[in-house]
Amino acid sequence: MVSGYAPMQQVVVAASAPRAGIPAASRTQHTLLALVRAVRNIRDEHDVQCLAFLAGELGLLRQTPFCFSRAISRDSFAPESLILRDTYRMMLNRRLIGWEIGHLRVLVESSPDTPEHEWLHEGISWLAALVPQERHVLTQATIDLHDSGSNLLSSAADLPFRKSVARILDGAEGAAVAERRLSMVRRQLGIV
C-alpha cells in the first residue's frame, strides 16, 4: 500500500501544433498516447490514473503496462501507478502531451506504424462518455467491488454496484443522473 504522497499537481503546458511522431516510443508512452487520443475530456493527473486503471481492469487495454497500488487520499483509496505517473510527467515535459482548453491533448502526430487499435479495445468509448468525476466514482466502485470479492462486470454485482455508487455520491448534486449514466456504462461494458 502506498501512502504519504503530496496532492497531485496539474502541470500546464502550452499547446502547439502537433509535431511528428515520437521515434522509438515505449509501450507505456504508446498506451498513454492512445488513451489521451481516445478520451478527450481528461482533466488532471488523477483522472489519467483513474482512466488507465479502469481501462486495465475492464480489459480495454490490449496489454496494460501499468501496475497499480492504492494511494491513500483523504477518506478513500485511489489507484496509483508510479510507472504511469512518471510516463505522464515525462511526456508533459517533452511536450508530447499538453493542456488545451482545460483538457489533456496529444501534441504529436500518430506514428503510421502503430495504429491505435493495437493498444485499445473499442469499449474505451464508454469510458470516454463519462465526465472525470464519474470515472472517479466508477474507479472507487470497482475497488469496493474487488474488496468484496466481486467483479464490476458480473451480473451478480448489480446491487452491490448500485449501493457502492450511492454511497460514494452520497446525495451530491446530480447524483441520480450520475448513477444512471454509470449503470448504463457498466451494462454496455459488460456487453463489449
Residue with cell 472517479: 136
CA pair distance 124, 159, nearest whole angstrom? 24
Nearest in space to 80 (alpha carbons), one of 89, 71, 88: 71
Within 10 A of 87 (CB to CB), how many other CB atoms are there? 24
CB 72 within 8 A of CB 80: no
Q: With residue 164 as reference, give the H or E element that holds it.
A: helix 158-169
- Eight-class DSSP state of 120: B
**DSSP-based three-state secondary structure for 77:** strand
Distance of alpha carbon 101 from alpha carbon 124, whole angstroms: 22
> What's the confidence (pLDDT) of residue 183?
95
Task: Note whether 33 and 65 are within 8 A (CB).
Answer: no
Cell of 7: 496532492
So what's the pLDDT on residue 10?
A: 42
Return d(Cα 192, Cα 178) in angstroms, integer. Answer: 21
Q: Mean pLDDT by 10-residue block, N- to C-terminus, for the chain (192 residues)?
A: 38 45 76 94 95 93 87 70 96 96 90 63 92 95 93 92 94 91 93 62
Length of the chain (residues): 192
